[in-house]
Amino acid sequence: MDLLSYKLGKEAGGGSTPNLQNKDVTITQNGETTVQADAGYDGLSSVDITTNVSSGPDLSEYFNNTITNTTSNTHIGDLVLKKIPSPIYISSSTTDLSGLFQNTKITTVPRLIGGENVTLFVSMFNAINNFNNTITSCDVSGLVTSNATNMNRMFAGLTVCTQITGLTGFNTEKVTTMQSLFDSCEAITELDLSSFTNSNGALTKTSSMFSGCKNLRKIDIRGLTFSSVTSFISMFGVDTSTSKVPNNCLIIVKDNTEKTWITTNFSRMNNVKTVAEYEA
């Protein structure tokens, strides 16, 4: 019997005394809670509520606990963010990914999917190891670069990263500058850039492209031509620097024309081979 029926019954001169429950309820999560009488009771006479709700889910893997001003021009997001959910889908309306992760404190690089209309990849991953030494790999296999024009410093400063996977899927036909593209990627030993092409002559800048890559042992750039390149200073690092690309690093190029270009402009590089020589 509910209370309303009981009240109406009593006013009409009849009805019996309802069996009411005094109920104790503990609420352990945020949201709406409905409290009802248990079976065998006609209703509730009182409800004693105890709340034991936590502050929320553990987000420590995504955010730093404290904010410290490390540089005068660092954004709040750069200081707080540690991790981003993966994968991230790039909208077809996006045209510029410049500085997307630059100087962030992320501990892992999320997988990016898309980018068919992106033209600018400038400093996209630049210096993400400035705040920690946890980024040892970077997967760009889902990134579409078919309309890319500028890759200046795209991977620069990945100082402890030992591998960048997915580069063999890059389309570089429209890229005009690869300047400092892998600058200071100190831990990488091999770069397979065999899919990098520029048959239309768009590429004009390769200065410091591999500068600071002191542990490189093999670079495959068999798809690139350098006839249109006008800015190439320190492409393999400053000759007197201890962080230059080693003299005996194997460099695989398309043919004798490209081999001559490299050995003429960078005479210390003594292990340049054409595809024919390499595969012989």
**Do 135 and 252 sit in the same domain of this protein?**
yes
pLDDT in tens, 48-67: 877 776 666 666 676 665 55
**Do 139 and 19 sit in the same domain of this protein?**
no
**Do 71 and 30 sit in the same domain of this protein?**
no
For residue 204, what pLDDT band results from cuts at 50, 70 and 90?
very high
pLDDT in tens, 138-167: 999 999 999 999 999 999 989 999 999 999
Q: CA 186 to CA 120: how far, in whole Å?
A: 24
- Three-state secondary-structure class, residue 91: coil
**Do 26 and 117 sit in the same domain of this protein?**
no
> How many CA atoms within 13 Å lie on the side-chain side of 90?
21
Count of domains in the chain?
2
**Do 41 and 62 sit in the same domain of this protein?**
no
**Do 46 and 119 sit in the same domain of this protein?**
no
**Do 29 and 71 sit in the same domain of this protein?**
no
- Three-state secondary-structure class, residue 113: strand
Q: CA 68 to CA 78: how far, in whole Å?
A: 10
Question: What is the average pLDDT value for the chain, to the nearest integer?
Answer: 86
What does the block give as tokens for 159?
């100082």
Exposed/middle/buried for residue 53 (C-beta within 10 Å: 0-12, 13-18, 19+): exposed
Q: Looking at residues 182-207, what average pLDDT do you find?
A: 96
Give the H/E segment covering residue 38: none
Which of 36, 51, 66 is the last residue before a domain boundary?
Answer: 51
Q: Rg of the chain's alpha carbons, rounded to an integer?
A: 32
**Do 86 and 14 sit in the same domain of this protein?**
no
- The least confident of 54-63, 110-119, 159-168, 188-197 is 54-63
202 residue type, one letter: A
Q: CA 273 to CA 2: how far, in whole Å?
A: 92
Residues pairing with 63 in the sheet: 81
Beta-carbon count within 10 A of 154 CB: 28
User: Which candidate, 68, 60, 33, places its Cα nearest to that of 47?
Assistant: 33
For residue 129, what pLDDT band results from cuts at 50, 70 and 90?
low
User: Which candidate, 261, 280, 264, places its Cα nearest to that of 221?
Assistant: 261
pLDDT in tens, 208-244: 999 999 999 999 999 999 999 999 999 999 999 999 9
What does the block give as tokens for 263?
């050995």
**Do 186 and 235 sit in the same domain of this protein?**
yes
**Do 19 and 90 sit in the same domain of this protein?**
no
**Do 159 and 80 sit in the same domain of this protein?**
yes
User: Which candidate, 161, 47, 28, places its Cα nearest to that of 106?
Assistant: 161
Domain that holds residue 236: 58-280
Q: CA 81 to CA 101: how far, in whole Å?
A: 10
**Do 42 and 117 sit in the same domain of this protein?**
no
Most confident of the ranges 29-43, 118-132, 178-192: 178-192
Buried residues in 169-191 as b, exposed as e (16+ CB within 10 A): ebebbbbbbbbbbbbbbbbbeeb
